[in-house]
Amino acid sequence: MSQLDAIDTAILKVIQQHGRISNAELAERIGLSPSACSRRLDILEKSGVVTGYHARVSAKALDYKMIAIVHISLSGQFAKTLTEFEAAVKLCPNVLVCYLMSGEYDYILRVAAKDLEDYERIHRDWLSALPHVVKINSSFALREVIDRPNVGI
């Protein structure tokens, strides 16, 4: 989908905040018939504008009290090196986010841990074992200030 019109934008604004809204209520809020609204939403989903619907589960409720920001340097940035690292990092269940970066480090990860001992285990068993890693630099979040699930529309 190359361009979003005002109706598409209205649909996206509502479903970002209310992902479980019924089609009938969504249609009413944006001023479309339920069938037209359903068709529009289907197009947004099939075109990849809407990539999924998720429940935001509290990490603290699951006893994950620490977030580490991990900077990783690899032995090189060859395609094979990056591919092997990315395949391996996807297997680590504690890695919440992984970005390929420009600048000093090759990757930045956001890692959830229950406590410092748990992070040590993650570091030892997962992060240090990732292929082609030559440097790991970890920082620990003191407090979450903001964590937006979506960009503003």
pTM over 0.85: no
Q: How much is the average pLDDT of 139-149?
A: 92
CATH number of the domain located at residue range(s) 6-46 in this protein: 1.10.10.10
Beta bridge partners of 74: 133
Tens-digit pLDDT profile for residues 71-98: 999 999 999 999 999 999 999 999 999 9
Amino acid at 86: E
| Averaged pLDDT score across all residues of the chain | 94
- Separation CA 138–CA 20 (nearest Å): 37
- Per-domain residue ranges for the chain? 6-46, 60-140
Q: Judge if 6-46 and 60-140 fold alike in CATH terms.
A: no
CATH architecture of 60-140: 2-Layer Sandwich (3.30)
131 has a pLDDT exceeding 90: yes
Sheet holding 95-100, edge to edge: 95-100, 107-113, 66-74, 133-140
- With bands split at pLDDT 50, 70 and 90, how would you rate the model's confidence at 2? low
Residue 126 half-sphere exposure, CB side, CA atoms within 13 Å?
A: 21
What is the sign, positive or negative, of the torsion defined by CA atoms of 103, 107, 111, 117?
negative
- With bands split at pLDDT 50, 70 and 90, how would you rate the model's confidence at 1? very low
- Identify the helix (H) or strand (E) that includes residue 74: strand 66-74
